[in-house]
Each structure stands twice: as C-alpha cells, then as structure tokens.
Amino acid sequence: MKSSNKKLLISLLITIAFITSGAIFWKIAKDEVFYLCGNFSAGVMKSSVVRQLDTANLSSYTYSVNESGSTIVFSRRLYFVPNQCVIEFDKSEKVVLAGFK
C-alpha cells in the first residue's frame, strides 16, 4: 500500500472514531437528563432533586425563583440539540411538575 493511501486510511479511521465517540457522548448526555427527570414526581422535596442532579456528569442545572415558587432547568452540557428537564416547585419546596423537553 502506498504511503499516501496509508495516511488517507489512518485519517479516515481517526475521523470515524471521533464522530462515533461524539455520538456516544450525545446519547449518554440525553439519557442522563431523561432518566433523572423521571425521578421527580409531585411531592418530592427540592433537596432530594438537587442531590440527584449533583450526581450528573454531562449535565448541569440553573435555578430561578418566581412568584409561585421556584424552577430548576436541568440540561446537558452538549448544546447542539437541547434536551432539558424543567422542574417546578411550590413555595414549600416540593415538586409540582417535572417535564422532559
């Protein structure tokens, strides 16, 4: 095999490996948000939600306060295709609604 063909083949294999690993991380990050979001049913305390969200490796969350309580938006760090879990709390810091988008 010629040297230029070997370089092309190696480059192609590296590119395929890079794309495959990116797709795997994308899927894992989506699953992390989806499955954690399923843990948050009505009545779960905010402290329990935050404790579980803090275990996430590929995702992060933001917290905001509003007049009816507060909201946590949990999303993955890979921003190409946004997936997020919106968790709404009442004033007593219990989950009212958690939904995956």
pLDDT one-digit tens code per residue, 64-85: 999 999 999 998 766 566 789 9
Mean pLDDT in residue range 3-20: 85
CA-CA distance, 49 to 70, in Å (whole number)?
A: 13
The gap from C-alpha 56 to its chain's centroid, in whole angstroms, comes to 8
Q: How many domains does the chain fold into?
A: 1
Q: Which of the four pLDDT bands, split at 50, 70 and 90, describes residue 3?
A: confident
Domain span holding position 93? 3-100
Q: Comparing C-alpha atoms, which of 48, 59, 47 is closest to residue 85?
A: 59
pLDDT digits (tens, 9 = 90+) for 87-98: 999 999 999 999
Beta strand segments in the chain, E: 59-66, 69-76, 84-89, 95-100
More confident residue, 25 or 13: 13
The pLDDT, as a whole number, for residue 89 is 97
